[in-house]
Structure 1
Amino acid sequence: MPKDDLTPKDPHDRLFKKVMSDEANVRQFIKEFLPKELSSQIDLKDMKLIPTEKIKGYNKYYMDTAVKCNIADTEGQLYFVFEHKSYPDPNVLLQILSYMTVLWDEQRKKNNPLTPVIPVVIYHGTTSWNVTTHFQGQFRNLSEVVKPYTPEFNYVLIDLTNIPTEEIEQKAKDTPFLAASLIIMKLVALGDIDGILRIAVIISLSEEERIILILYLFYTLDVDQNTMQRIVKELGGEEIMPSLAERLIKQGESKGEIKGKQELLIKQLRRKFNLTHGEEKMIRSVTDESKLDAAAEAILDAKSKDEVLNTLGLDL
């Protein structure tokens, strides 16, 4: 297994894109999780995934997953764009608008008719989603006189944390990897270890799919080594790849040491300069031990917290 598969920069992003790269999973998600008045009108047989890579050249935001399909009473194609979030992101509407304009600009340059876009946000975070679902809702005191001149659109919000686990499993019963992934993303956000240990659907997955989910759990759960070993064993990690458990245990020990250095540095900076929640989060994203050690030394003579944070290579 490639090294970068064990050390993803964003495990949430990697799992979501892996699941939604399968048209069968996307088709099932549209059919079962979107509002029925919408999904019932979509021709899922002719649905196709859109390569998001083609949008990179515009140097603008591009969505995690996008598909094109036909819908009743709509000539031509309808585009769905899927974006997943593990935290309430106030920029999500601007990100969606950026994708829309990139897509429409590309169509216009090819002299193609513009295609309607329906954004879908899949959320699995630890706090309630508190971001408005319509674009004009971002503005304070938007007067009725100005509204007609301001863009407006909504997005479909799928909050996994508010959907019962049994319902997720039932809706995605024909696509076990989709079901297991959505359930695990939800339970990780809730910190429900017992629920993770009871996921029966994972047994029906392929070896590769189980390994993907176990690695996702390893990099997203904040649990002790013994608990992680128990999870790996219960979900078949030792059975399908004995060396996987050993590798996770070794990395777990290193992970624990790094976490200790992160927390110590945060504690020292709090005492000397004070830290914002965002700055603490940035420090916890640093996994290079040499940088953490250098920052710990720098704090002794530093006259500002920026001196220490620059040592970590953080983009301030």
Structure 2
Amino acid sequence: MAKTPKGSGDPKRPDKPHDALFRQMMSHPDAVAGELRAVLPEEVAAQIDWTWMQPQSCSFVSAELRARFSDVLFATRWAGRDALVYVLLEHQRRSDPLMAFRMLAYVVRIWERHLETNPDEKRLPAVIPVVVHAGTDGKPWSHSVEVADLIDVEPAMAAALSGVLPRMGFLLDDLATVDAAALLARRPARVRVVLMLLKSAPGNQHLERDLSALIADLITLTSAEVDRVLEYILVVSDTVVGDLLPVIDQLGPEIKEAFVTTADRLRVEGRVEGRVQGLAEGRTAGRAEMLIELLSQRFGPVPTAVADAIRAQSSVRLQEMGRRVLTAASLDEVIAE
């Protein structure tokens, strides 16, 4: 069976790392606000109520496209009126020539949803469509951002029908055209992290260089966000894990432990290549021997069969048993399932 390339977006795979990272990080109002401030015209940004950004628990991307597109929707206030902000991440290899049409379809679905929940409304809220392009080929966006440019008519006919043909466009944040220094100037920290990783992590053999600039930001993330970042790094990059360790060491013992645990879990699930296997197995073996030593100090010599069983455990299971060592009254309590 042919091997599925990392980041290929096979919809049958349970893991969709780009989607998972984007939705985890961009579900925060401050993150979406930071993205909008970077792409909106100043006169529009000045009219948005940044203190009122409400995430909407919905997605307009179909399940079969979720491997290549991710989206978030926020309700806000714009110049005293209701407005909706729709941010779509496009992470396929090349820019999509029909993206303007896709965005029009998503905007219509958003309006339909709004009318379903507000059946007496006679007007539609403004929808601000934004596309974050993180193409895996590293090339800039190369297609139109307006629906009008997709309609196959003669220029003269298009001019004559200018009031009839749809002209909706979208705001484009093309990461291929934004250098690292500009991304590192974005606010807040989680926006810098997610955009830098989307831009630089896939297929990167020396990701440690880019991560070094994000150390202060990574420390500020929640544990759930850190776990998602670590998983994304391990799944999509081609950096040897040993090269990442000097950076991970600077993030503190808890994040380092999470990194090793995540590597071990992904290896067991078969979602990462052999570049992490030696590290994960080595760290797991070290934990097993340390646990056996602690058990022998507390409860006396550990039977050979028990020691062998401990060595066969996963890193996560060893952590669970390690937490029981100081409070357990017997060896059986430590190793109990």
TM-score by length of 1: 0.66
Which of 81, 85, 92 is 1:80 aligned to? 85
Deviates more, 1:134-143 or 1:209-218: 134-143
1:186 aligns with 2:204: no
- Paired residues of 2:98 and 2:150 also in contact (CA < 8 A): no
Which of 51, 54, 59 is 2:57 aligned to? 51
Match of 1:211 in 2: 227
Distance of 1:163 and 1:254 partners within structure 2? 29
Match of 2:261 in 1: 243
Instruction: Tell me: CA distance 1:26–1:39, structure 2 relative to 1, closer, same or farther (3 Å).
Output: same
In the TM superposition, what is the alpha-carbon distance from 1:26 to its structure 2 partner?
Answer: 1.6
Instruction: Tell me: CA distance 1:92–1:235, structure 2 relative to 1, closer, same or farther (3 Å).
Output: farther
Which of 28, 35, 50 is 2:41 aligned to? 35
Match of 2:126 in 1: 116
In the TM superposition, what is the alpha-carbon distance from 1:162 to its structure 2 partner?
Answer: 2.1
The residue type paired with residue 169 of structure 1 is L
1:164 aligns with 2:179: yes
TM-score by length of 2: 0.62
The residue type paired with residue 116 of structure 1 is A
Spell out, residue by residue over 1:79-99, the C-alpha distance to the aligned partner (whole angstroms, 9 max, x if none): 111001123122322221112
- Runs of at least 5 residues in structure 2 that lack an aligned partner in the other structure: 1-12, 250-254, 276-337
Aligned residues: 242
- Runs of at least 5 residues in structure 1 that lack an aligned partner in the other structure: 1-6, 258-316
Instruction: Tell me: CA distance 1:84–1:44, structure 2 relative to 1, closer, same or farther (3 Å).
Output: same
1:198-277 equivalence runs, <5 A? 198-199=212-213, 200=215, 201-223=217-239, 227-231=240-244, 234-236=247-249, 238-248=256-266, 255=273
The residue type paired with residue 209 of structure 2 is G
Distance of 2:210 and 2:269 partners within structure 1? 21
- Paired residues of 2:107 and 2:127 also in contact (CA < 8 A): yes
Partner of 1:128, secondary structure, is coil
Spell out, residue by residue over 1:9-64, the C-alpha distance to the aligned partner (whole angstroms, 9 max, x if none): 321111111111112222232234433232122111122122225x699xx99971
In the TM superposition, what is the alpha-carbon distance from 1:190 to its structure 2 partner?
Answer: 8.0
Distance of 1:153 and 1:139 partners within structure 2? 12
Partner of 2:18, secondary structure, is helix
Distance of 2:41 and 2:196 partners within structure 1? 19
Distance of 1:41 and 1:102 partners within structure 2? 25
1:23 aligns with 2:29: yes
Instruction: Tell me: CA distance 1:45–1:249, structure 2 relative to 1, closer, same or farther (3 Å).
Output: same
- Paired residues of 2:53 and 2:74 also in contact (CA < 8 A): yes
- Paired residues of 1:134 and 1:155 also in contact (CA < 8 A): yes
Distance of 2:186 and 2:235 partners within structure 1? 27
Pair member with larger Rg: 2
In the TM superposition, what is the alpha-carbon distance from 1:156 to its structure 2 partner?
Answer: 0.6
Distance of 1:244 and 1:103 partners within structure 2? 36
The residue type paired with residue 190 of structure 2 is F
- Paired residues of 1:229 and 1:245 also in contact (CA < 8 A): no
Paired-residue identity, %: 20
1:9 aligns with 2:18: no
- Paired residues of 1:238 and 1:245 also in contact (CA < 8 A): no
Distance of 2:114 and 2:260 partners within structure 1? 50
Higher share in helix: 1
Match of 1:196 in 2: 210
In the TM superposition, what is the alpha-carbon distance from 1:232 to its structure 2 partner?
Answer: 5.0
The residue type paired with residue 46 of structure 1 is W
Distance of 1:9 and 1:91 partners within structure 2? 26
Deviates more, 1:234-243 or 1:109-118: 234-243
Distance of 2:271 and 2:15 partners within structure 1? 19
Partner of 1:42, secondary structure, is coil
